[in-house]
Structure 1
Amino acid sequence: MRHALRMRVQSGAIHGWNMRSSTLALPSRRRSGVSTRVKIGLGFGSLALAVFLFVGWASARSARLQVTADAGLSLAEVARHLSSSLDAGMGERYREIQNIAGLEHLHRRELDPAAWRVVLEQLQQSFRHYAWIGVTDPQGVVVAATGGVLEKRDVAQRPWFVEARTRPFVGDVHDAVLLARLLPQVDNEPLRLVDVAAPIREGERMVGVLGAHLSWKWAQELREQALAPVEAARHIEVIVVNRAGEQLLGPKGGPRVPLAPATVERLTQQRHGIEPWQDGRRYLSAAHRAGPRAGYPGLGWTVLVRQPVSIATAPARHLQWRIWGYGLFGVLGFGLAGWWLAGRLAAPLRRVAREAQLQAPQHDAVGGSPQDEVTQLAYALGALVTQLRDRERELVSLNETLEHRVAERTRALEQANADLQSFTRTVSHDLKGPIGSVGSATRMALELSGPQLDTRARDLLSLSAAECDRLGVLVDELLALARVDQQALRREPLDMKALAQAAAADVLRSAAPAAVPLDLRIDDLPPIDGDPVLLRQVWHNLLSNAVKFSRRAAQPRVEVGVSSDERRHVFHVRDNGAGFDRQLADRLFDVFQRLHSQDEFPGTGVGLSIVKRIVNRHGGEVWAEGAPGQGACFYFALPRSA
């Protein structure tokens, strides 16, 4: 900041010196620098250039966002259409196999290979992508098959037979095993199949299995027929992945997992977005996963459609270049208009300057007090620059002094804070032992000599023991308060509901018996990342407060819940107890601040301070709401990434 001020002052001084030089040289009619007319013309042109550049950038950005959104919706529609077509085709085959397996005349007595072979051949002819269809007996031996392939072969170990003995089955895409050497290959590519099978039953008895293998060429042809023109024109690629994210259909030579499963899941929910892929390039991507339909369970295939970002946003770039081209002509027009307008405006000034040169006495060019306003203004500006330089030196000196004082004050505060923490630890440790000893000695005196003492002495000893207990609790609270700031934060995934339930169990176990049972309700809470020990302390302190202050209610009730948004989770603990004055809410989380008397509700006034410090260390915030006699609600908000 000082450097910028110094530069401005120096530039002002130079400008003032130029003005003085120009003014003093005026009677000799010497001219230097650029004319006012040219300066105004350049200023108009520069302003127009800045405006058109900004308009071009803003328009291109808006167009790019709109084009990207429109292209993303178009890709999402392509993905939805192809996903629905794939699942519809698989659903038809799934129901078709079940219907054929349910034809009673084919297995009324026993499996008839000849009758079944006729049906299977007709079925294969009705849908040419059936690579193989066969019927087995209950032991897994193929009885009849299309083309006689695999007849009398044992397929009992094949997954489609094992699964279809009890229920209809549809299997994911896989490489052919038994059929790889028996069926012809197309384009020298490995044969890939999809299994569909169903049990053949006679009453409750399973008499065989009807199985079919669909060639995966069906999906490839479906994609090419529907999307080949679009792919060629817009460089769109279609990829089909299974539930594990492995590529089933897509560009040759591509990675086995082209996109991380988490990214695929996010795309499925968002429909489209710009994502980096495994090849290192960024694509406008869309995804769709069709669900079960009409009795067909589905295989969880996800159709991914992608387009290079450079191609998807090409119309926006072309629009930007057009806008900048028009802007260039606009800049030239504004510059010429500014030059013409400056000539009209500067003409009177030039006439005044000439008159001043003609009227000025000759000796004024050499020395003496300036008579014209411009020279007077130049001298005034020179004096102002000198004054500003003096002020700058004073400000620099004052700033250096302030920085030194701030640094010393910061070191003093840090040392004081360290001394305070050390004092707290020392006092707490030094007090805890003697206080415990006094309390134990007092109770021992009551036990041994209580009957010999009068009532007042016993009451005093009981009061002394109770105060020792209270001081012990206060010391423990002070130690906990000191540990909150010193303990290293250990983050790990936490089940907040389990943590709240465990803290509630501790609180209820240590609470005094109540006349009316407490109604404690804990809603489902989302998991977060945080320190388990510190966050359990938060739940313990808030629930302990809620139980303590609601114990005198007619129907004591404590509720634990949460509300979430995209940025954070807001947890709350609500009770119907004594409540508090909302004007005093800011004092609740200060150390040793209590809004109720010790006799009415005992406590140390440290618990809520511990809550605030723990939540602040997790990047959150705490606050409270309440009214006297109407209960209270304590909130603490934690970031989703906390």
Structure 2
Amino acid sequence: MYRRRTLTIQQQITLLAGTLCLALVAAAAGGAAYMGKRQTRELIETHVTDMATVMAHTLDRDMYERFREVRILAESRTVRGMEPDALRALLTRRQSSMIDFAWVGVADPAGNVVASTQGQLEGKSVANRLWFKHGLESPYIGDVRESKLLGELLGRDQRQAFRFVEVAAPVVAGGRTVGVLGAHLSWTWAAEVRRAMLENDTAGGIRDLWILSSDGTMLLGPHLGSKPFDDARIAAMLRSRQGVFESDSENGMMLTGYAIASGYRDYPGRNWLIIAQQPARDAYAAVRRLEWGALVLSILIAIAGVTLTWFIARRIASPLRALTAAARDLGRDHSVTMLPRLAGAREIVDLSAALRSLMRRLGVEQERADLVQRQAQQEEKRYAQEISELRRAAGIDPLSGLLNRRAFLYAAAMMMADANARHLTVIMADIDFFKQVNDNHGHSAGDATIRKVGEILTACVRETDLVARFGGEEFVILLAGTPPGAVLALTERMRRSVQETPITHGAATIRITISLGVAIADPEDRDIQNVIEGADRALYRAKQRGRNRAVLSA
């Protein structure tokens, strides 16, 4: 008669303990890995989406400012006068502050250009241009266009078409339209915004930023004029306004975040799609490392547990009813959490002690699994803190469009900490008698004054320098690499530019001055706050000496 061969006690105990060890460790490590993976993935996807959203908001605010500049210029007394020489002088002068506009001109109601910057297109007819047709009726801003002819006229690279955005506003005098002010905003401005956003991504994860038109055509990015996404995907993005998805590209799977540039204040927006991309392989590398680490750890612990159980089981000589009965209660009776200490033969005592030791070791392994989970949670908190710091570092003052105080201090501290940094200078600028502007002309005039001073200060420095609104009517400028001998000449140019530039607000013309305090970083300065305090003290002395001057910190 065939008798089924049963497992030995050694094999049974090894199998039972090994399975229990593997299950507990795998459950604990797998749960920790799953939670860590989910939260880490959410943080990464949120960062990609936020990059697209911040760029969309930046583009909308910048377009609003340029839309507003053209409308304000169209309302000036000189433009309404339609006198060619005065118009030409005004437009050429204003182009120095409106540096992103490649061409600005005024056409009469028949469509003939009366005056323009550098005299370009004067006497030519623009009656068939979209900006002129729309500008006769109301302020207008178009979508991105390209023109090789205009690029050649402006002296641009002839190997590619000149890309621009048309902005126009009617010129109204005496209740009737006497002309149209048109401007061509160079699309290189958007490329500069894109470059700055990529440089400010200190995490280094974002590979590229694109701008697509509302129909999905590439406006800024690789393969201009192509459509990287199908119509169904574009329609879905326009409906949801912002989000993230994975897409296949020639460089592999990409994590793609998007947001819609839908306008700001009275600027209607062009519904541009802002796309931020990061290779999915790089984005989820930390998640994959966490998964593999948890898997390897569970396998090693399980192997260690099985090996230990095998050596303990070798010491068992025969089945023992008492020990079997006690072991049978484990897992069934929750009040029984440990095997009893048995008396009797030496083999029974040794086996009892060994199994009790095994149970305690399982508790230790559970503690190790708990430690893995706590470490994973600490890593999640660290990722959240780093991404939060990135968001705070990307602050923009909503009134002036400049960096805000927090963003300036963050960037300035990074530059100060750079061991290669040389000739760091801080300039504090304050509008003289600013309260009188608000009292005499209203707070809207004060806001316009703050914006204008911000534009003038920005125009006086290089793109590598930082200009920020520090609070109220106070501004701060950080110069990097400017020799000390050139600093005072620069501050004098700032002061003179503000003094000589009238600010038009409604029917009022406001003239202001600024006082400036200058502090040059010394090797003994501990941090950027020391330099700012020195510039602030110098600004106070400038105010005491009568205002409208620049004073160097002693």
TM-score interval w.r.t. the shorter chain?
A: 0.5 to 0.7
5 Å-filtered alignment, 1:158-557, equals: 158-185=129-156, 188-230=159-201, 233-250=204-221, 252-253=222-223, 256-267=226-237, 269=240, 271-277=242-248, 279=250, 281-344=252-315, 346-349=316-319
Question: CA-atom RMSD, angstroms?
Answer: 3.0
2:5 to 14, 18, 25: 18
Deviations 1:282-319 (A, max 9, x none): 43222222433332111111212122222221111111
CA distance in 1, matches of 2:266, 2:168: 14
Give 1:245 deviation, angstroms.
1.6
1:182 and 1:85, CA in 2 relative to 1: closer, same or farther beyond 3 A?
same
Aligned match of 2:123? 152
Which amino acid is the alignment partner of residue 337 of structure 1? L
2:74 corresponds to which letter in structure 1?
A
**Displacement, 1:105?**
3.7
CA distance in 2 between partners of 1:315 and 1:150 (Å)? 57
Q: Distance in 1 between matches of 2:24 and 2:160?
A: 59
Q: Does the CA contact (< 8 Å) of 1:195 and 1:211 recur in 2? A: yes
* TM superposition shift of 1:220: 0.6
Q: 1:255 to 1:242 in 2, by over 3 A?
A: closer
1:347 & 1:336 partners in 2: Cα distance?
19
Contact 1:117 1:146 in 2 (8 A): yes
Alignment of 1:52-91 (within 5 A): 52-53=25-26, 55-91=28-64
Give the drift of 1:187. 9.8
- State the match for 2:341 in structure 1: none
Q: 1:285 to 1:151 in 2, by over 3 A?
A: same
Larger helix percent? 1
- The equivalent residue for 2:107 is 136
Question: SS at the partner of 2:216?
Answer: coil
Deviations 1:192-238 (A, max 9, x none): 00010111122232221111011111001011112235288214321
Matched, 1:112 2:83: yes
Unaligned runs of 5+ in 2: 322-554
SS at match of 1:294: coil
> Are the structure 2 counterparts of residues 44 and 189 from structure 1 closer, same or farther at C-alpha, using a change threshold of 3 Å?
farther
Specify whether residues 255 and 316 from structure 1 end up closer, same or farther in structure 2 by C-alpha distance, changes over 3 A only: farther
Partner of 2:476: none
Contact 1:172 1:194 in 2 (8 A): yes
Q: Give the aligned residue type for 1:73.
A: T
Q: CA deviation at 1:264?
A: 3.9
Q: For the Cα contact (< 8 Å) 1:60–1:317, is it kept in 2?
A: no
By how many angstroms is 1:177 displaced?
4.8
Compared CA separation, residues 274 and 75, structure 1 to 2 (3 A): same
Contact in 2 for aligned 1:192/1:216 (Cα 8 Å) = yes
Counterparts of 2:132 and 2:126 in 1: how far apart (Å)?
Answer: 7
Query: CA separation of 1:48/1:265 partners in 2, compared to 1, >3 Å: closer, same or farther?
Result: farther
Structure 2-normalised TM-score?
Answer: 0.53
Per-residue CA deviation, residues 85-128 of structure 1 (Å, 9 max, x unaligned), is 101111111111111111134333xx212211122122221132
Kept in 1: contact 2:262–2:272 (CA 8 A) = no
Query: Rg larger in 1 or in 2?
Result: 1
Q: C-alpha displacement at 1:253, in angstroms? A: 2.7
2 CA distance for matches of 1:210 and 1:270? 33
Conserved? CA contact 1:264–1:287, under 8 Å: no
1:433-492 CA distances to partner (integer Å, 9 max, x unpaired)? Answer: xxxxxxxxxxxxxxxxxxxxxxxxxxxxxxxxxxxxxxxxxxxxxxxxxxxxxxxxxxxx
Alignment deviations for residues 113-144 of structure 1 (CA, whole Å, 9 cap, x no partner): 22111221222211321111111122212121
**Does the 8 Å contact 2:243/2:259 carry over to 1?**
no
Residues in 2 aligned to 1:137 and 1:348: alpha-carbon distance in whole angstroms: 111
Q: Secondary structure at the match of 2:153?
A: coil
Give 1:40's aligned residue.
13
The answer (yes or no) to whether the contact 1:164–1:209 under 8 Å persists in 2 is yes
Match of 1:513 in 2: none
Deviation at 1:348, TM superposition (A): 3.2
The structure with the greater share of residues assigned to strand is 2
Q: State how far apart, in whole Å, the 1-side matches of 2:16 and 2:157 are.
A: 71
Describe the superposition over 1:588-625 as per-residue Cα deviations: whole angstroms up to 9, x where unpaired. xxxxxxxxxxxxxxxxxxxxxxxxxxxxxxxxxxxxxx
* Higher alpha-carbon deviation: 320-329 or 38-47: 38-47
In the alignment, the residues of structure 1 paired with residue 304 and residue 147 of structure 2 have an alpha-carbon distance, to the nearest angstrom, of: 72
Displacement after TM superposition at 1:257 (Å): 1.7
Residue 492 of structure 2 is matched in structure 1 by none
2-structure distance, mates of 1:186, 1:54: 63
| Separation in 2, partners of 1:107, 1:240 | 36
Q: CA-to-partner distance for each residue in 1:41-74, whole Å, 9 max, x for gaps?
A: 3553455445545555444333332222111221
**One-letter code aligned to 1:82:** M
- Tell me if structure 2 keeps the 8 A contact 1:41–1:335: yes
Query: How many residues are matched?
Result: 321
Change (3 A) 1:328 1:179: same
How far has the Cα of 1:38 moved from its partner? Answer: 4.8
Give 1:145 deviation, angstroms. 1.3
Equivalent AA in structure 2 for residue 126 of structure 1? S
TM-score, normalised by the number of residues in structure 1:
0.46
Which deviates more from structure 2 when the two are superposed, residues 291-300 or residues 261-270? 261-270
Taking structure 1 as reference, are residues 282 and 60 closer, same or farther at Cα in structure 2, changes over 3 Å only? farther
Distance change in 2, residues 1:153/1:159 (3 Å): same
Q: Which amino acid aligns with 1:285?
A: T
User: 2:112, 2:282 → 1: CA distance?
Assistant: 55
Q: Any conservation in 2 of the 1:258–1:277 contact (CA below 8 Å)?
A: no
- Checking the alignment, whether the CA contact within 8 Å between 1:197 and 1:212 is kept in structure 2 is yes
In structure 2, distance between residues paired with 1:62 and 1:255: 42
Cα distance in 1 for residues equivalent to 2:320 and 2:26: 35
1:174 counterpart SS class: strand
CA distance in 1, matches of 2:252, 2:283: 13
1:100 aligns with 2:70: no
Structure-1 separation of matches of 2:87 and 2:235: 43
**Distance across 1 between alignment mates of 2:291 and 2:249:** 30
Q: CA deviation at 1:273?
A: 3.0
AA in 2 matched with 1:128: I
What is aligned with 1:571?
A: none
CA–CA distance in structure 2, aligned partners of residues 148 and 265 of structure 1? 44
Contact kept in structure 2, 1:267 and 1:273, CA below 8 Å: no
1:592-631 matches, within 5 Å, as none
Q: Which runs of 5+ in 1 are unaligned?
A: 1-12, 20-33, 352-642
Matches of 2:163 and 2:179 in 1, distance apart?
Answer: 25
SS, match of residue 233 in structure 1: coil
The match for 1:636 is none
Asked if the contact 1:243/1:302 (under 8 Å) is kept, the reply is: yes
Name the structure 1 match of 2:439: none
- Provide the rounded CA distance (Å) in 2 between the counterparts of 1:185 and 1:293: 31
